[in-house]
Amino acid sequence: MAKKLFIPGPVEVHPDILQAMATPMVGHRMAEYATLHGRVTTGLKKLLATEAKVFLSTSSAFGAMEGAVRNLVAGRCVNFCNGAFSDKWHDVTRRCGKEADAVKVEWGKPITAELVDEALATGKYDSLTLIHNETSTGVMSPLPEIAAVLRKYPDVVSIIDTVSSMSALPIPVDELGIDCCIFGVQKAFALPPGLAVFTASEKALARARTVEGRGYYFDFLEFEASDAKNNTPSTPCISLIYAMDKQLERMFAEGFEQRWARHRALADFVRGWVSDRGYGFFAEEAYRSMTLTCAVNSRGTDLASLKKMLGERGFAFDDGYGKIKGKTFRIPHMGDMQRSDLEEFLAVIDECLAVLG
Amino acid sequence: MAKKLFIPGPVEVHPDILQAMATPMVGHRMAEYATLHGRVTTGLKKLLATEAKVFLSTSSAFGAMEGAVRNLVAGRCVNFCNGAFSDKWHDVTRRCGKEADAVKVEWGKPITAELVDEALATGKYDSLTLIHNETSTGVMSPLPEIAAVLRKYPDVVSIIDTVSSMSALPIPVDELGIDCCIFGVQKAFALPPGLAVFTASEKALARARTVEGRGYYFDFLEFEASDAKNNTPSTPCISLIYAMDKQLERMFAEGFEQRWARHRALADFVRGWVSDRGYGFFAEEAYRSMTLTCAVNSRGTDLASLKKMLGERGFAFDDGYGKIKGKTFRIPHMGDMQRSDLEEFLAVIDECLAVLG
């Protein structure tokens, strides 16, 4: 029996999307593919509020995240780190042979505008990486305030991952001045994994043109050349692009404002449950994620047993990530999730907690 | 209306496989995924007749092909080139910052054992790349003879792409001494695109351990570490792994010998039609591909018009690749194709040719 997923990605996929995955193939050099590709990137540009290029990468998000540092770091990069995935991005940047420093804050804390300003004021960096919504800790850093700081440093290329936030709240890429906005599709977008999306501003593309060793598979200039023909440099994951096409259609039908409002309401609902049950929050109030709540296990619940019990009842539960596993647990409220889904899940958790004590 | 694909990839996908793509998601860090992953890699090891590691890469084949040179070229590489894709692999090798020479033969010619021997005898190379079945030209190079030569050079790591041949004829990876055998899934495997498979022998892994700058996304040692847990370093394209699981089940049900025999029979059938209609062959008889026939347009057929007419009748046709477009055309006979599919397609071509004259 398939478990219903209440983990922060991959998330549960709507039956209409699953069925879109079963669409018969087209050839990626046929006109039919170019039409599909153009429709999807046009829809994504609306959602992201950008006139920059939007590229489709047949990879997980970390492929595009590695690609971004290969293409956009010419001199020295600063990686802002406040959780497992941003920590890893620093490691990956260095493995690409790039000079990079990590600005690390304690897990659970946000990356603030002040931190960004302080690092960039040194004048040492031509690029930065930042994860908007750290999926490991449920912390959302304040993008609009950070964006205000970025305007002071026009020569710095900003690379920002929004894998677990894009589409759940407004992230207007051009207005925020994000040069390269990256996300995978199996979290806030609620598709099966295997596709990453990234934008490239004119500034980013100009930078890439100066950088050696971009390789081929993630070469931004190859993506740019193929994009002109509504195509990709390598054979794309067509089934997932069908799924993205269907999901964009669904997002337009729901309406962006309504989608954002639904996420706010779901976040409030889950936070209320967490408080009512006597758990804490790993993030400070102002920086709590809109798409997942990371609760502190302040009741000392036996999370391993809870996970097992929930699994037996058909629900996949997440008992924390990395070094905070067991000390925290994470409840996602993203993608196509509805209030009724969370009501069902939280009611079953309540039943289990009654048994566990 | 979806066209029935008679292009050499992506190929037509069986309805059972398409339906497998619509399977509800699991989390890739859940036990359910590890079970699936283990079953798929075990099945692949049987098909490839290898005890080496078999890794699943969320990328097209060129991602894994780039990864292989990043990981396995320590000193200097020789790229054997006899078509569009092998030519490109040489370019990609150099873009990865590797020292590499191309041994180029005319398009339509095979890479022979003699050529390989001559290059390796110089002692300049620690690695080689070779495409077994050049999809652009319909030429299949003689792997068993090349393998006999490779045994003379035990320090050379062999990287061989079998994207359009694997599963259509026996390619026993260990017996042939292939250190890294790579293929995408949208050609001979008849899955939708977006997944690549590659093997890594002990020698390949030992080499990777000595090479700097492997990056992260295609780092063989990361794949090795994750494989020990039946997992992948980055979020995998789970839907395609479901599809691979179903396809391996179908291949085992058909039987490998039967699958090979079917491909031989289909190749004979198509070659007979090509001869009978007065077209030539781009490859010499001994090196004609088992999975696609590249015909020379010796009748001077208006291939653009033929392609258009076939499209109107619901069939996607290929009128040659790259610099031999229009001078050749390619008929695939790979994947799950049956004799009746080709009979239908070739009959419609005959109808069109009668109109075109």
| The predicted structure's pLDDT at residue A1 | 65
The CATH number that applies at residue B121 is: 3.40.640.10
B35 and chain A: CB distance < 8 Å anywhere? no
Same domain, B19 and B131: yes
Surface-to-core class of residue B142, CB atoms within 10 Å of its CB (0-12 exposed, 13-18 middle, 19+ buried): middle
Chain segment B31-57, per-residue pLDDT in tens: 999 999 999 999 999 999 999 999 999
Same domain, B276 and B195: no
Same domain, A347 and A233: no
B216 and chain A: CB distance < 8 Å anywhere? yes
Same domain, B136 and B276: no
Q: At which residue do the structure tokens 């960039």 appear? A: A120
Interface contact flag, B2 A26, Cβ < 8 Å = yes
With beta carbons under 8 A apart, name residues in chain B contacting A212: 97
- Count of domains forming chain B: 2
A219 vs chain B: nearest CA distance in angstroms? 10
Which of A3, A14, A239 should one mutate to test binding to chain B, selecting the residue with the greatest count of B CBs within 10 A? A239
Q: Out of A2, A66, A194, whose CB is closest to B215?
A: A66
Same domain, B349 and B201: no
Joined tokens for residue B327? 């001078």
Chain segment B277-317, per-residue pLDDT in tens: 999 999 999 999 999 999 999 999 999 999 999 999 999 99
Same domain, B104 and B249: yes
A312 and chain B: CB distance < 8 Å anywhere? no
With beta carbons under 8 A apart, name residues in chain B contacting A213: 95-97
Give the whole-number percent of chain B exceeding pLDDT 70. Answer: 100
Average pLDDT, chain B: 97
Same domain, B139 and B242: yes
DSSP for A255-320 reads -HHHHHHHHHHHHHHHHHHHHHTT-EESS-GGGB-SSEEEEE-TT---HHHHHHHHHHTTEEEB--
Surface-to-core class of residue A312, CB atoms within 10 Å of its CB (0-12 exposed, 13-18 middle, 19+ buried): exposed
With beta carbons under 8 A apart, name residues in chain A contacting B27: 5, 7, 9-10, 316
Chain segment B201-258, per-residue pLDDT in tens: 999 999 999 999 999 999 999 999 999 999 999 999 999 999 999 999 999 999 999 9
With beta carbons under 8 A apart, name residues in chain A contacting B21: 18, 21-22, 239
Give the domain-ending residue among A224, A253, A282. Answer: A253
Task: Give the residue numbers spanning the domain of A299.
Answer: 4-10+255-356
With beta carbons under 8 A apart, name residues in chain B contacting A7: 27, 30
Give the domain-ending residue among B211, B232, B253. Answer: B253
Same domain, B184 and B275: no
Surface-to-core class of residue A99, CB atoms within 10 Å of its CB (0-12 exposed, 13-18 middle, 19+ buried): middle
| The predicted structure's pLDDT at residue B22 | 97
Same domain, B224 and B347: no
- Distance, in Å, from the CA atom of A86 to the CA atom of A129, rounded to the nearest integer, reads 8
Q: At which residue do the structure tokens 């509020």 appear? A: A49
Same domain, A201 and A306: no
Give the domain-ending residue among B230, B253, B276. Answer: B253
The yes-or-no verdict on residue B1 having pLDDT over 80 is no
Query: Which whole number is the average pLDDT over B151-158?
Result: 98
Q: Is B330 annotated as a binding residue?
A: yes
Report, as ranges of residue numbers, the positions in chain A whose pLDDT lies below 70: 1
Which of B217, B221, B310 should one mutate to test binding to chain A, selecting the residue with the greatest count of A CBs within 10 A? B217
Q: Out of B13, B97, B235, whose CB is closest to A193?
A: B235
Interface contact flag, B10 A27, Cβ < 8 Å = yes
Cβ within 8 Å of residue A6, ≥6 positions away: A12, A310, A315, A316, A317, A318, A331, A332, A345
Same domain, A135 and A273: no
Same domain, A213 and A69: yes
The CATH number that applies at residue B340 is: 3.90.1150.10
